[in-house]
Structure 1
């Protein structure tokens, strides 16, 4: 099993930081960082919490196993931007993402059986092979009553 110091060094290098800058994030000097990486000292919780703030996978440092939910700096920037949007902005982003996905064939298409696909959660982009009179209620409001 790899040591905490080895993994700490790997995470520092993954972020492209030198020992002095990495140590400063946790409020330490370069010498303390060197001792951590050499395994002569163990980092404390406050230091690790500070590193988590810049995208370090603290779970990986402590256990040697990467968390699937570790977020890159690009993903963090996107997530922060998304969270700062109003409902309309979020809907637009979700629609854009849905429209950019590669189309996938239906999981269980039997021969020439009719199928209809909707692309994305927002918008009216339908693809399919149903021929004949069809009614699609896209607005969701139902039919208007005649007076």
Structure 2
């Protein structure tokens, strides 16, 4: 049976991000994140929520059971990128998507 730390590393790799990006997505420092991947500490609910918002399969992180609705690697990576963008950037991305849909 895999441990949380193993699943966290696996999820990070599935999303195609490095440790510093995973830490940033959760609003934590690199050292704290590293301690999670090493199995020295476990994250709190707020950290798990932020990872969920960044595309991590938190059900899998906690239970080892994959969420049937998990995103593809490409979609998860796109969502993780979007979660790094400020509100102004999100408005711009939304406008681009709306324009693309109208023209398609």
**What TM-score does the superposition give when structure 1 sets the normalisation length?**
0.49
Residue 11 of structure 1, CA deviation: 0.4
1:1-147 to structure 2, matched below 5 A, reads: 1-72=1-72, 73=75
Q: Distance in 2 between matches of 1:32 and 1:9?
A: 14
Whose strand fraction is larger, Structure 1's or Structure 2's?
1
Q: Distance in 2 between matches of 1:32 and 1:65?
A: 24
Q: Distance in 1 between matches of 2:27 and 2:67?
A: 25
Q: Which runs of 4+ in 1 moved over 3 A?
A: none
Deviations 1:100-130 (A, max 9, x none): xxxxxxxxxxxxxxxxxxxxxxxxxxxxxxx
Deviations 1:20-43 (A, max 9, x none): 111011111111111000110001
- Give the structure with higher Rg (CA): 1
Q: Which has the higher contact order (CA 8 A, sep 6+)?
A: 2
**Aligned residue pairs: how many?**
80
Residue 71 of structure 1, CA deviation: 2.6
Q: Can you give the 5+ residue segments of structure 1 that lack an aligned partner in the other structure?
A: 90-147
SS, match of residue 54 in structure 2: coil
Q: Distance in 1 between matches of 2:25 and 2:67?
A: 22
Q: Can you give the 5+ residue segments of structure 2 that lack an aligned partner in the other structure?
A: 80-93
Q: Distance in 2 between matches of 1:67 and 1:28?
A: 24
**What TM-score does the superposition give when structure 2 sets the normalisation length?**
0.68
Residue 57 of structure 1, CA deviation: 0.3
